[in-house]
Amino acid sequence: MNSHLSQTLAAPCGLYCGACYIYIARKRGGEVALRKIVRRLPERKDQVIKPREDLICDGCLSSQLSVFCRRCVIRECAFNSGITHCAQCSDFPCETITDFNNDGRPHHGEVLKNIYRQQKVGIDAWLSEQDKRWRCPNCEFRTEWYETKCPECAAKLSLLTAERIERMESH
């Protein structure tokens, strides 16, 4: 795995950007796949999402961020504190990251566990675990947070569950 690229996929908040549906869509199908995402998004009067300008993302630690991550208070807090990841913060777990973990979005609901894991094994080892975790167990095709079956071989995938997380930790 390319070390530079993998580092950009470790979001300060503990999310693995390599499993983000926007990141994956671009890697798999380019602008066509990103246009499909735009069509699925709820219509907003205050913002028109343009695939090429707003959804191109190379991970939270890259210079190319999706519109949804550009104004992230967690990312901004980490950078303003002189750190890269919440795992490095002496105030972890703070109210902001705890609220984010508990906001009801399934992929956010694992950030605290991810950050504790990062503290235990380090960012590089955690990235390696995540790269394995978000691949189909049958064919190793890269998968994303909300896929229920592999787009390559149609194998059934478990969603964001404690079982999937614990399976990775046991290896």
Residue 94 has pLDDT above 80, yes or no: yes
Q: Which tokens belong to 1? A: 């795995």
Dist. CA 34–CA 32, nearest whole Å: 5
* pLDDT score of 2: 47
- For the segment 155-164, the average pLDDT, to the nearest whole number, is 64
Provide the percentage of residues in the chain whose pLDDT is more than 90.
Answer: 50
- For the segment 89-93, the average pLDDT, to the nearest whole number, is 95
Residues 26 and 35 sit within 8 Å (Cβ to Cβ): no
111 contact partners, CB below 8 Å, separation of at least 6? 13, 14, 15, 86, 97, 100, 101
What pTM was computed for the model? 0.82
Q: Which tokens belong to 26? A: 């671009």
Provide the percentage of residues in the chain whose pLDDT is more than 70.
Answer: 85
Domain that holds residue 106: 3-169
Q: Would you place residue 46 in the very low, low, confident or very high pLDDT band (cuts 50, 70, 90)?
A: low
Q: Would you place residue 162 in the very low, low, confident or very high pLDDT band (cuts 50, 70, 90)?
A: very low
Three-state DSSP at 16 gives strand
* pLDDT score of 67: 86
- For the segment 108-123, the average pLDDT, to the nearest whole number, is 95
Higher pLDDT, 26 or 85: 85
Residue 11 has pLDDT above 50, yes or no: yes
Cα Rg of the chain (Å, integer): 16
* pLDDT score of 28: 82
Work out how many domains the chain is built from and give that number: 1
* pLDDT score of 25: 86
